[in-house]
Amino acid sequence: MPALADYVAATNDAAALISLGGADLGDQAKRIVRPNVRVESYVDQWQVLQTASVFLTHHGLNSTHEAIFHQTPMISYPLFADQPPLAARCQEFGLAVPLVESLRDPVTPDDIGAALAHVAADRVAIGARLAEAARWELATIDERPTVIERVVDLMR
């Protein structure tokens, strides 16, 4: 978070909203506030992703699906459990770019800048892949009643 805040503060045309999903950030929040950086303990992520130009994410399952639905390019910084493989798949599909090379590597403002530059350079391709993935999401949702019926039939 400090690297992101430092990068944004040094960049005239950037702004960041940092949130940890309802966690109490305590004094840490005060240490990362910078010009053009807003820190919140909770935000309505669904609403924020509707207007965000990029999403730096740990690749939790819900966050990833929400970003795909809203076709928001992602920068991957997974932490544990299912997040690293989900981040890797999103990168393979062209939906996300990695922030650093290895799991939980330290992050510098230069890493932030490089990842944002990668997204900017590939925005058209990433956008096309996100549009395709969003169609997959909607098709899956449309098929949900059929899948539920098949599961119920198996239980009879």
Domain spans in the chain, listed from the N-terminal domain onward: 44-155
pLDDT in tens, 133-154: 999 999 988 998 888 898 889 9
User: 85 and 96 in contact (C-beta within 8 Å)?
Assistant: no
What pLDDT, on a 0 to 100 scale, did the predictor assign at position 136?
94
First to last CA, the chain: 51
| DSSP three-state, residue 34 | strand
pLDDT digits (tens, 9 = 90+) for 10-64: 998 999 999 978 888 778 788 899 999 999 989 999 999 999 999 999 999 999 9
pLDDT bracket for residue 106 (50, 70, 90): very high
pLDDT at 120: 98
Asked if 74 and 52 count as a contact pair (C-beta separation under 8 A), the reply is no
Fold designation for 44-155? Rossmann fold (3.40.50)
pLDDT on residue 45: 96
| Buried/exposed code over 37-53 (b: 16+ C-beta within 10 A; e: otherwise) | bebeeebebeebbeebe
The pTM for the full model equals 0.90
